[in-house]
Amino acid sequence: MDERKRQIERGETILGIELGSTRIKAVLIDSHNEPIAQGGHTWENQLVDGVWTYSLEAVEEGLQASFKSLNDDIKAQYNVVLKRTKALAISAMMHGYLAFDNEDNLLVPFRTWRNTMTEQAAEDLSKLFDYPVPERWSISHLYQAILNKEEHVPRIAKITTLAGYVHYRLTGKHLLGIGDASGMFPVDPKTKGYDRTMVKQFASLHTHPWRLEELLPAPLSAGEEAGVLTKEGALFLDPSGTLEAGIPLAPPEGDAGTGMVATNSVAKRTGNVSAGTSVFAMIVLEKELSRSYNKFIDLVTTPDGSLVAMSHANNCTGEYDAWIALFDEVLHAVGHSVPKAKLYDDLLGKALEGDYDGGGLLAYNYLSGETMTELYEGRPLFVRKAESSFTLANFMRTQLYTALGVLRIGMDILFEQEGVSIDSITGHGGFFKTALVGQKMMASALHTPVATLKSAGEGGAWGIALLASYLVNKKGRTLAEFLDQDVFAGAERTIVEATGAEIEGFNKFMERYKEGLGIERAAVEFLR
């Protein structure tokens, strides 16, 4: 305790902040890369005029609230105030569209990754590039705005992601970590920059006065210097004026990259699954895929620029969160109250008692659309036959299974069609909070043992703090070497395997899931 206090006072700690879909989290780590304090702020995206968004005011308020919460924790534990850190870094949800003019005015409300109104643009670009360009990518949003002849397009001076925006406010630098940048526009792993051929191809699609390479933030690899905290940036984060300027920043990253770092999954033949509001699996490839799998497999990079295959689903925990909230209402209606954590653990734990195939039940957790199943709007639904085994255990197992349905479609391509091999896959995120349950369901879905790390519970905020630590502690090592040697050498790991019967049970559910997609399609069509 005394040593940690001294490190805080001497400015030897490192700060990471991640803006997730539902929570902004700040983590302070010590010289051993261990979390010693944390803070957070809950927020939610808003559906405004058909667009999922967060206001820039909400971004600023949320950041400041998260930092204050962190400082409150530091004061409570160590009776000191955080004035300086050795380094800091920002991460956030990837993709989306933040467009600014040359005076830094936001031209249209922030369009997050959750928006799928860019179908035409994504399809056109994927064909042009012969490269998978998903709807949520920044370039899809930009090109859709061009196709729609939106009036703001000629005035664009720069576009960025949420992490890039916050980093700009802190440093005045328009740049991005290569992992986050690879979710804006295709990156060439050989040059560690945007693919030059595709940049030229995009130029042929418009006649606007700007050039794409001028709009995009400069991509930097992990460990590269990305500016320092300015006086204005310090006040943006800490309006009290206590935080000092001059702190070096690591390149801002996306939540995919920080997930890789937090699970020690940046080396080839490793992978991780991040499962929360959305779910995505990241597999670091040994070689390029044989062809493009548009709408099924995305290609991004690790924070140090290695090629990664990504299977992504927009929806994961949101629907079963809604059901658990309903069960909570039921309990209150009959005069009972159960702590939220216990309610989650008990209800999700029931899933382990269910039939391996979910008892014939079927659900779709589509709060928003899913590209891989060609549904661009979502209608959450639950359906069963009269003879289905309608029990609480089967209901909960089905809710967990459906959270992984779209993910499984993408992973089948990698494992079965491309013959991708992995040595390990590590899970993190809210899906894994209830002990063993999320791991067991994921292992059944991916027919692969799933590990969790005790430390990975800190999530992306810890991951971006580690990237800030790498900036000042790399000592000539690769990112993978730094993580192996300085962070995960003695890490506590839990590995869960699925039995053959459990794997077969999930396979049966997937058959039902695929056959029933017409029900979901009808719900989208008729429930307007």
Using the predicted structure, report yes or no on whether residue 457 has a pLDDT greater than 90. Answer: no
Using the predicted structure, report yes or no on whether residue 16 has a pLDDT greater than 60. Answer: yes
Burial code of 376-415, b = ≥16 C-beta within 10 A, e = fewer? ebbbbbeebeeebbeeebbbbbbbbbbbbbbbbbbbebbb
Burial code of 346-371, b = ≥16 C-beta within 10 A, e = fewer? ebbebbbebbbbbbbbbbbbbbbbbb
Provide the pLDDT confidence category of residue 455 given band limits of 50, 70 and 90.
Answer: low
Using the predicted structure, report yes or no on whether residue 475 has a pLDDT greater than 70. Answer: yes
Number of domains in the chain: 1
Residue 351 belongs to a domain: yes
- Can you tell me which residue has the tokens 């051993």? 32
The residues near 97 (Cβ < 8 Å, ≥ 6 apart) are: 108, 110, 111, 138, 141, 142, 145, 159
Q: In what order do the strands lie in the sheet with 23-29?
A: 35-42, 23-29, 14-19, 87-92, 253-254
Read off the pLDDT of residues 226-258 as tens digits, 9 standing for 90 and up.
999 999 999 999 999 999 999 999 999 999 899
In this prediction, residue 299 carries a pLDDT of 94
Residue 229 belongs to a domain: no
The strand pair at 193-194 and 158-160 is best described as unpaired
Angle, helix 318-333 to helix 340-350, in steps of 10 degrees: 110
Residue 514 belongs to a domain: yes
Read off the pLDDT of residues 214-228 as tens digits, 9 standing for 90 and up.
999 999 999 999 999
Residue 75 belongs to a domain: no
Residue 385 belongs to a domain: yes
In this prediction, residue 423 carries a pLDDT of 81
Using the predicted structure, report yes or no on whether residue 459 has a pLDDT greater than 90. Answer: no
SS (HEC) of 173-216: CCEEEHHHHCCCCCEECCCCEECHHHHHHHHCCCCCCCCHHHHC
Read off the pLDDT of residues 72-110 as tens digits, 9 standing for 90 and up.
999 999 999 999 999 999 999 999 999 999 999 999 999
- Residue 425 main-chain phi, psi, to 5 deg: -135, 130
- Cα-only R_g, the chain: 22
Token reading at 316: 């994961």
- Give the pLDDT mean for 193-213: 97
Q: Read out DSSP for 145-173?
A: HHHTT-TTGGG--EEE-HHHHHHHHHHS-
Read off the pLDDT of residues 404-434 as tens digits, 9 standing for 90 and up.
999 999 999 999 999 998 887 999 888 999 9
Using the predicted structure, report yes or no on whether residue 490 has a pLDDT greater than 90. Answer: no
Read off the pLDDT of residues 109-166 as tens digits, 9 standing for 90 and up.
999 998 989 999 999 999 999 999 989 999 999 999 999 999 999 999 999 999 999 9
Residue 505 belongs to a domain: yes
Residue 360 belongs to a domain: yes
Domain that holds residue 518: 318-402+501-526
In this prediction, residue 492 carries a pLDDT of 85
Residue 373 belongs to a domain: yes
pTM of the model: 0.83
